[in-house]
Structure 1
């Protein structure tokens, strides 16, 4: 499967929705886990602004890379973001994944 690295160095990102567990199977309610580590996968919606364009991205992130205190509006740094094109049953899209979502404090921003 193709993995496309995403350069987030010139982007501004902030939490649009607090993290929630990623559901692997909607019928059974099974929660997704990271295939390599077994960590629970979380979904973090972020407002991603680059070159004057803003979009809401849903990022899949291992629970170990998501602080518990992320709240809506928190500016964040995104680590290890990749995009994966997907296609299933005639539908297609791009899935985004990150290694970590880290709050940016006022001290870090200065």
Structure 2
């Protein structure tokens, strides 16, 4: 399967929707896992802003690669983002698109300091 690296160095990226478990099978509710590590996958919707254009991307990430708090609007860094073109046929209908996968997504907002008594 062809994988295309995505350069995020000139982009601003922020959370559109917090991480949700990536569902492998909607009928059974089975959660998708990384085939190499066995870690559960999550899907994170991010707003990707670059060169005056904004897109919302759904990015699959292994759960251990999620670091920090993720609320809507939180700026994040994406490590190892790749795009994968896909195509399938169902009931005679061809569908195609691009899926996104990252090694990690890290919040750029410092963790909240503990409350002082």
TM-score tier, shorter chain, comes to over 0.9
TM-score (norm 1): 0.93
Greater Rg by CA: 2
Q: 2:29 aligned with 1:29, yes or no?
A: yes
How many residues were matched structurally? 106
Provide the residue aligned with 2:70 in structure 1.
Answer: 70
Q: 1:94 maps to what in 2?
A: 98
SS at match of 1:64: helix
Secondary structure in structure 2 of the residue aligned to 1:54: strand
Post-superposition offset of 1:68 = 5.7
> Relative to structure 2, which stretch is displaced further, 62-71 or 2-11?
62-71
Moved over 6 A (4+): none
Give the root-mean-square deviation of aligned CA atoms: 1.1
1:4 aligned partner = 4
Which residue in 2 is equivalent to 1:104? 108
The change in CA–CA distance for 1:68 and 1:22 in structure 2 (over 3 A counts) is: farther
Q: What residue number does 2:115 align with?
A: none
Structure 1 stretches lacking a partner, 5+ long: none
